[in-house]
């Protein structure tokens, strides 16, 4: 039985690197994969999954109106897929997560989703919340805080490194905008202590 997997972490844990390595492993064995990433994330150009260590691959784009089931099923009908991998999965909506689950259940294709769990205020993203509830397998990818503990939170910062406490849930950025911290240091930095 195909499963829906959710690999989650804070920022800068290597999710895109792991996704690209997983796709490579399938392709190296002659199996077809299909990659997806969020259209809203254009840091490296549209239609690319890029890791901080320099790996990259072309990917299909999704936004709030994308029918994931239809797009994947159409590709599978042309070229049978062995796996579908979704980067920036926190930007999926509830309906899309259920579409991905249907791909597993009805078409027998494993779906591997990679994303961050919470935003800069410690709130779940819609896609992450849905995946935490629906996925067959949940796996935390660990990274470390500046203190050496496990980082679980994403602190949004301004150009001088000061914490941002309010704003839109989604603001695309990397190391210039976000710092992965343990909960203790996240709370301390947000409160100014």
Q: Mean pLDDT, 10 residues at a time, over the chain (193 residues)?
A: 95 91 97 95 73 87 97 97 97 98 98 94 94 97 93 85 69 68 90 74
Number of helices (H), then strands (E), belonging to the chain: the values are 5, 12
In DSSP terms, 48 is beta-bridged to: 58
**Cβ atoms of 4 and 134 closer than 8 Å:** yes
**Cβ atoms of 135 and 104 closer than 8 Å:** no
Residues 32, 88, 126, 140: which is the catalytic one? 88
Burial class for 12, CB neighbours closer than 10 Å (0-12, 13-18, 19+): middle
The domain limits of the chain are 4-141
pTM across the whole model? 0.90
- Asked about 88 being catalytic, the answer comes back as yes
Dist. CA 193–CA 92, nearest whole Å: 35
Q: Which pLDDT score is estimated for 165? A: 73
Q: Which pLDDT score is estimated for 70? A: 98
Superfamily of domain 4-141: P-loop containing nucleotide triphosphate hydrolases (3.40.50.300)
């Amino acid at each position: 039985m195909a499963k829906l997997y959710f690999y989650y972490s804070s920022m800068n844990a290597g999710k895109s690197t792991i996704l690209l390595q997983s796709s490579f492993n399938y392709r190296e064995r002659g199996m077809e994969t299909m990659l997806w990433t969020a259209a809203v994330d254009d840091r490296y150009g549209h239609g690319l999954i890029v890791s901080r260590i320099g790996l990259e691959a072309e990917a299909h784009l999704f936004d709030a109106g994308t029918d994931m089931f239809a797009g994947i099923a159409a590709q599978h009908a042309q070229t049978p897929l062995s796996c579908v991998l979704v980067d920036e999965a926190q930007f999926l909506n509830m309906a899309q997560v259920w579409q991905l689950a249907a791909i597993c259940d009805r078409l027998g294709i494993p779906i591997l989703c990679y994303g961050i769990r919470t935003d800069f205020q410690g709130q779940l993203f819609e896609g992450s919340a849905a995946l935490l509830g629906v996925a067959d397998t949940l796996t935390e990818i660990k990274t470390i805080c500046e203190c050496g503990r496990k980082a679980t939170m994403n602190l949004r910062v301004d150009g001088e490194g000061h914490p941002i406490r309010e704003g839109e849930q989604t603001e695309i950025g990397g190391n210039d905008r976000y710092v992965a911290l343990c909960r203790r240091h996240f709370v301390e930095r947000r409160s100014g202590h």
